[in-house]
Chains A and B, each alone.
Chain A
Amino acid sequence: EAGVAQSPRYKIIEKRQSVAFWCNPISGHATLYWYQQILGQGPKLLIQFQNNGVVDDSQLPKDRFSAERLKGVDSTLKIQPAKLEDSAVYLCASSLGDYSFTDTQYFGPGTRLTVL
């Protein structure tokens, strides 16, 4: 079974530029998560989708970050405009069920963003 796919793996941009990340979850997984992992810290949830609906986006900086999950499968996360503090690894994860706290989340390899 294929795992969670993410692209690109690395991205370097100047501040105030825009950037987008793509995630393809494990086939059949209903719930998709985007986490931000700043160097030296644990991942923190940015946004959570069940199918193509948003379950939790309370920690998403909505003035600059946006995300969508069209057709309940792939998802994109966008930052516009980027700030220096957005430098981090952006991890996508998916789980089988409907945002259940019992489900195991499976993570992709992440996208490492550097904002100069």
Chain B
Amino acid sequence: AQKVTQAQTEISVVEKEDVTLDCVYETRDTTYYLFWYKQPPSGELVFLIRRNSFDEQNEISGRYSWNFQKSTSSFNFTITASQVVDSAVYFCALSEAGNTGKLIFGQGTTLQVKP
């Protein structure tokens, strides 16, 4: 069965520290997409990145970077030089080719960045 696990429930760091959010997934499909969303206190889920199962290249966007490793079924998210505005709940999600497009979400990781 498909599943997404975010083992870190809460992480607290001091501003300017680097932080990595872990995501491990399970799927029987060979074709799938992985996503990261940010949910600030306002509640809206903000799309961050989409990665397909055939593209294992790491991605960097400003202070954000993502490491996708099929061998370990992981899709980890790193924030470099964290800022207070990064404080939010972050969700990893899976979409499978054999499905209708619905997203399977992890439980989320709450990141608190202290000044």
Query: Which A positions have Cβ atoms within 8 angstroms of B?
Result: 31, 33, 35, 40-45, 48, 55-56, 89, 91, 93, 95, 99-110, 112
11 intermolecular pairs with C-beta atoms under 8 Å apart: A40-B108, A42-B91, A42-B107, A43-B45, A43-B103, A56-B102, A91-B45, A104-B47, A104-B50, A106-B47, A109-B43
Query: Which B positions have Cβ atoms within 8 angstroms of A?
Result: 4, 32-33, 35, 37, 42-47, 50, 52, 91, 93, 95-97, 99-103, 105-108
Closest 8 CB pairs of A and B: A42-B105, A107-B45, A99-B101, A101-B95, A45-B102, A109-B44, A110-B43, A99-B100
Task: Give, as a whole number of angstroms, the nearest-CB distance from A5 to chain B.
Answer: 11
Chain B minimum-CB-distance residue to A110: B43
Total A-B Cβ pairs within 8 A: 66
Task: Give, as a whole number of angstroms, the nearest-CB distance from B55 to chain A.
Answer: 12
Q: Which residues of A contact B96 (CB under 8 A)?
A: 101
Chain A minimum-CB-distance residue to B45: A107
Other A-B pairs beyond A40-B108, A102-B52, A104-B35, 5, CB < 8 Å:
A35-B103, A41-B107, A41-B108, A42-B108, A107-B47
Q: Which residues of B contact A103 (CB under 8 A)?
A: 101
Q: Report whether A108 and B44 are in contact in the complex, using a CB–CB cutoff of 8 Å.
A: yes
Task: Give, as a whole number of angstroms, the nearest-CB distance from B27 to chain A.
Answer: 11
Give A91 to B93 CA distance when docked, in angstroms: 15
Chain B minimum-CB-distance residue to A93: B45
Q: Which residues of A contact B91 (CB under 8 A)?
A: 42-43
Q: Which residues of B contact A95 (CB under 8 A)?
A: 101
Q: Report whether B103 and A45 are in contact in the complex, using a CB–CB cutoff of 8 Å.
A: yes
In-complex Cβ contact of A112 among B4, B43, B95, B100 (8 A):
B43
Q: Report whether A101 and B97 are in contact in the complex, using a CB–CB cutoff of 8 Å.
A: yes
Q: Given that A101-B32, A101-B97, A101-B99 are contacting pairs, would A43 and B44 also be in contact in the complex, using a CB cutoff of 8 Å?
A: no
